[in-house]
Structure 1
């Protein structure tokens, strides 16, 4: 058996393992199964060919897109296009820091990570609880009034 045939058979075996593991845990339509097999085989063949994957450059957000991504009630994520009150948890789950997110999408350093409405709501809550105010000095219990 030639090296090329052996490599092809190994890729085919691994493709079968991956697809069967996926299909055993997920519901698939018959037409989706064919596409899954083709896609996995192509990805495995590309990975084994020694070619380095081309990193796709992410398009930087335009000024218009940046303005539109900030609404009063939510921030629209450039990663998945969904609205979030705060981006920190969303970015953490994707393995990004706020600085890395800003750099990736070409956002200014002052781009907010929390929506304005949510920030205002949290600020009002903190004020109502008395947070951020210095505590008033109380007179010790045994101190004289001066009378």
Structure 2
């Protein structure tokens, strides 16, 4: 393995010297610029064997963002599934938090992760059982009047 690295390095040096010599013989290059040219050519040749950087294309949503929120359901932009609530789906299926999801698709903090009808149903149910009241408030909305 070490011999291969030495052979590769010697080959890179030989190629670098050949390229620099050809460039200098055909172009006017100042003496101060030759070391920089050598470093640049050697660096470029050394990087040729590596993997090319992969450009990641921006993700395409499964549906248009403005069409993803319906009264009865919300459509996941990653996979296109229709859901009433996205939070659990995002974590279990895609390994994302709601913040990651919103950042990935450029959504605002006000983008709903719960279908509007479902949120309304849950809100009505919570009010019905007395959640969301201030201390001392009755379910009817008013305070109890004292007799007297």
Give the match's secondary structure for 2:102: helix
Aligned residues: 89
Cα distance in 1 between the residues matched to 2:91 and 2:80: 16
Q: Which residue number in structure 2 is paired with residue 132 of structure 1?
A: 132
Q: Does 1:68 align with 2:105?
A: no
Q: CA deviation at 1:108?
A: 2.3
Larger radius of gyration: 2
Cα distance in 1 between the residues matched to 2:117 and 2:99: 22
- Listed as ranges, the gaps of 5+ residues in structure 1 are 1-48, 138-144
Given that residues 88 and 113 in structure 1 are in contact (C-alpha distance below 8 angstroms), is that contact kept between their aligned partners in structure 2?
yes
Q: Does 1:119 align with 2:84?
A: no
Q: CA deviation at 1:77?
A: 0.3
Cα distance in 2 between the residues matched to 1:52 and 1:120: 51
Cα distance in 2 between the residues matched to 1:125 and 1:135: 19
Q: Which residue number in structure 1 is paired with residue 77 of structure 2?
A: 78
Structure with the bigger RCO (C-alpha within 8 Å, sep 6+) is: 1
TM-score, structure 2 length as denominator?
0.51
